[in-house]
């Protein structure tokens, strides 16, 4: 099959970018979206042109590195699917495909489809850990965890930090990401000593980094490849309110 692509090309952070149209041939319906970009880049290299820069790593939907906007949707048209796990059979060859980088103030474009998402790391550094001294690591079964609590923690811990929630949010908010990182620690017994201070510190870091405020539009959950639910944000808000009442 033949596809027409309109890809965002930008040589550097301070350069002016634009959409450039390409045509790719001999694309199998079973190819992933990134494999299709590989085919395009091989052709560009043979023609002496600069290949399209894009992030990727595991290509198994685990690392969160591969995210791009496809036809205006973070990670593309399939729900609960990362860009690397999206296949070309989901696209109509008769319609052009527009490929752009994440669009958010805290995610400056590095080159083409690559953005700097280190702001998410700064949010985690503000409190996404447990620092209570416990001595040697206890056995895994030493602290009983009720199954509903474990399920909630695992659900939140599934977040891969891809940034799709930020790119999809009309406010450029990272609340779903921050809430997931707060929740997966805060609901467990080991995370209780710093639960409320953690939420307040991470939310403060998020605001300082330039992420927008959350208005619960729900676009974040619609594009999240791991299906983190909107109620996770409610847990974060609850913990932040409790922290304010305790003066943290």
For the cut 80, the answer to whether the pLDDT of residue 141 exceeds it is: no
117-245 CATH, one of 3.40.50.1820, 1.10.1060.10, 3.30.470.20, 1.10.15.40 = 1.10.1060.10
Q: What is the mean pLDDT of residues 61-77?
A: 97
Q: What is the pLDDT of residues 186-224, one digit of tens each?
A: 999 989 999 999 999 999 999 999 999 999 999 999 999
Q: What is the mean pLDDT of residues 173-192?
A: 95
Please tell me the pTM assigned to this model: 0.93
**Torsion sign (Cα): 127, 131, 136, 137:** negative
Name the class of domain 3-111. Answer: alpha beta
* Domain residue limits, the chain: 3-111, 117-245
pLDDT > 90: what percent of the chain?
92
3-class state of residue 27 by DSSP: coil
3-class state of residue 74 by DSSP: strand
Q: What is the pLDDT of residue 199?
A: 96
Q: What is the mean pLDDT of residues 6-28?
A: 97
Long-range interactions of 49-57: CB distance < 8 A, separation 24+: 50/11, 52/7, 52/9, 52/112, 52/113, 53/110, 53/111, 53/112, 53/113, 53/114, 54/112, 54/113, 54/114, 55/113, 55/114, 55/115, 56/84
Q: What is the pLDDT of residue 132?
A: 66
Q: What is the pLDDT of residue 130?
A: 86
Q: What is the pLDDT of residue 134?
A: 63
């Amino acid at each position: 099959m033949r596809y027409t692509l309109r890809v965002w090309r930008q040589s550097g952070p301070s350069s002016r970018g634009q959409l450039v149209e390409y045509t790719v041939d001999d694309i199998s319906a079973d190819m992933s979206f990134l494999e299709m970009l590989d085919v395009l880049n091989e052709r560009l290299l043979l023609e002496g042109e600069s290949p399209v820069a894009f992030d990727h790593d595991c290509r198994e939907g685990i690392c969160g590195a591969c995210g791009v906007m496809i036809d205006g949707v973070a990670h593309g048209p399939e729900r609960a699917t990362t860009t690397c796990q999206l296949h070309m059979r989901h696209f109509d060859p008769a319609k052009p495909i527009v490929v752009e980088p994440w669009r958010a103030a805290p995610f400056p474009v590095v080159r083409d489809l690559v953005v700097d998402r280190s702001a998410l790391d700064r949010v985690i550094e503000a409190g996404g850990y447990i620092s209570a001294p416990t001595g040697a690591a206890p056995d895994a079964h030493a602290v009983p965890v009720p199954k509903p609590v474990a399920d909630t923690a695992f659900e939140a811990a599934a977040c891969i930090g891809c940034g799709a929630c930020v790119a999809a949010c009309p406010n450029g908010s990272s609340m779903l990401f921050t809430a997931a990182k707060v929740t997966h620690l805060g609901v467990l017994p080991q995370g209780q000593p710093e639960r409320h201070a953690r939420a307040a510190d991470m939310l403060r870091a998020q605001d300082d980094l330039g992420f927008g405020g959350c208005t619960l539009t729900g676009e974040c959950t619609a594009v999240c490849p791991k299906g983190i639910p909107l109620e996770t944000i409610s847990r974060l808000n609850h913990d932040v309110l409790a922290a304010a009442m305790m003066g943290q």
